[in-house]
Structure 1
Amino acid sequence: MTPVILVTFAGRQTRMEILTQYIRRALDLGIIDEWHIWDFTRSADDHAWVTREFGPARYMGSKVPYQNAGTVSPSASFRTSARIRHDLHIALVPNDRPHECYEIAGGGWKNTHSVLRKIGREQLAHFDRSNEQTLWSKPTPGILSPGRPNEVTLSIDAAGAPILRINEVAIGTWPEINLSAGATVHIRGGWGADLELCDVDARTRRYIGNPNEQLPYYQAYEYYATRFEDFKDAVFLKCDDDIVYLDIDKLDGYIQFRRANPHYFIVSANVVNNGVCAYLQQAAGSIPTSVGEFEHPPGGFGGTLWESAERAAKLHGYFLVENGRTLPLPQPSVDWTERQSINFIAWLGQDLLHMALPQGDDEHALTIGVPTFLGRPSAIYSDFTVSHLSFGPQERGWDPTPLITAYEALMRSRLFPETEKPVLRAAG
């Protein structure tokens, strides 16, 4: 099987709601098999929206605070399959005492000890444990296995006491805690241990990167590269969260081109509002000079389009005026060896062998560094068009709301031509 996996680094709600409608349609049509949402949000509101919108968390970096994972009651155990080397943290919030919180740290201290603590509810959001109350401690050497997912079962006995088992070994039972009314279950890693919940296999799932890191995207590439055997047969797509148009009728053709041309390292879609693509589109006669003159960006990076909101708005307007015109390139595919913006790209799972990227400029690594080292070109595919809303420099003093509204109308006309406007959910 060669699954198609779309990766999106999320996420700004106002930018991403249109993309969500396109990708859900692609999932429904079976063009895409999985959508991996990497939560690199920078605001609490956007994080809350991504959490609500995109299903259960599959992966959490070691610095990610607790995430809601389910419930436990006397009649229904909580079960999960957790890949983690040490420091599996489980928090329980009693349904009848929502201001209380109990924390079980299994395999702490480098997989040597486990403890039960009573903590404040507010401590779910951070790692400071200076005010915790330790209720139980026990040596548990080797409790967690690094070689396979750990089977975790949390249950409540007839008297209301929680019982924890890991890999079929009873770790502890605590009759001093009464959970007869049930509890919500929260989970995290910590202290250098990332956590992957291997039983989360929804088509759309969240991956939560460590917060407040500069250039955090290496975390995603490292995740896939270290699981090479799991993903080597996949086709990967990666798109920005502000892709506001996607020609869904041509998406499968793009994927088939990617599969059929393994000599390319990455293959880019034909992107509206992308410096290299705009240069090639104009060279092919697809953009008249009345819209603007789009030069070859020096070395494939930056340029006058990249830094100008006015030029971007004129190009978007030209694309939108005829309900999403196509902007063909000079050839069906254009070989490219310089840098280019990676607004929507595809790579093959077999190339994860070369994609354990360091923290830094992933765009340079994927379009210059790795392909130059390997002696392989990249390509831009003409017959699949997407539209990218904006680059950072374009957003200075620019309100893109009218464009977002226009692209929402275009999305409705393409995906819901005979129905009323779909409701795009607002935060809060």
Structure 2
Amino acid sequence: MTSIARRFAMPSTSLLSAACLLGLVLIRPPQLAAASEASPGVVIAHSPAVSQIFLGSPSLAILPNGVYIAAHDTFGPRSTQNGEALYESRNAGKTWRKIGELRGQYWSSLFVNKGALYIVGTSGFSGVPTIRRSLNGGRTWTIPRDSDTGVLADGGKYFSAAVPVVVANGRIWRTIERVESTGIWAMMMSAPVDSDLLKAENWTFSNRLAPDPSWLKGKFGGWLEGNAVAKPDGKVVDVLRVYYNALPEKAAIAPVSADGTTLTFDPQHGFVDMPGGGKKFTIRFDPQTKLYWSLTNAVTGSYGGHNYERARNTLALVSSSDLHDWSVRRIVLHHSDWNTHGFQYVDWQFNGDDIVAVVRTSDDDPEGGAHSQHDSNWIKFNRISHFRDNPASQ
């Protein structure tokens, strides 16, 4: 997080507290003791730490024919920070193979609309919003050249990740953030679902919401990587990751108007307690349970560090009925070492009774493993079977 602060001029004093926080109640789910020290999952990609190229922002889509498509970008000293690698699985995630690379695409989300596969993000590190379309399962793509072919803004610096793309009230919604001198400002982008999504004129960008370091009694350090979440009544909100180095962790909820033009935030009521809210998460609504679900890096009783934003050694399945009250349902992945192990930036989809997920992973490998929980050396695929079941009854 300190690297983000330096790059985007966010106040370092508000991003992190250097003091040890004592007397805080930690999440201690009973399932933690049974969680494996190993990192299960199917390997999609690997890059050893010595390469200084780390694997980030995994995204996952399921095509109408059942094929899984995954994408990820890279970061680190030797990364160009402007490309996406693409993979497919034709056997429900059991094996993966690389099908291509895209240059000029970064921090991107895969999604399917009207049978076509899309990828939307930025043109590179702090680049402009960019979208591409594939009609053959990700093997070939349109090339963004101008405002008619996928370049959605003509200037500025933007921030994002593999965040959800949702459909509500006839529009496609996705969050994005604008990089300003005072930090990262929240935004929402949307377009009519039946429009040509490659044309910039069809996209509406909301106003930008500025961060305020006085929020949360001066402990607010910024927000980013928001989720477009469609409620059952059709209303859409932006649920943002919040930098707040205390427990319980926080997320921020900012409603957007039906036409996508106006994003608002009430600091008195807009912050909610959320396990893992200080790290990137993906939220999706399940009509069967009528619950919102997410996979987050909840802080458990085993974490002994003082920087909760880097507590990424536990991956928890959490749920909420209203986006305000969240509970940990089970621990999916855990390692006792929080310095060099992390299961983070998870993107996922419902798949029948299961959740299928792609996980940016810092873990052991034959080359000596990751050198930090943040600088990930793997992208892995994981399946959470019967996610709706109570794990205590299994």
**TM-score normalised by L of structure 2:** 0.26
Q: Which has the higher contact order (CA 8 A, sep 6+)?
A: 1
Of structures 1 and 2, the larger Rg is shown by: 1
When you count strand as a share of all residues, which structure comes out higher? 2
**TM-score normalised by L of structure 1:** 0.24
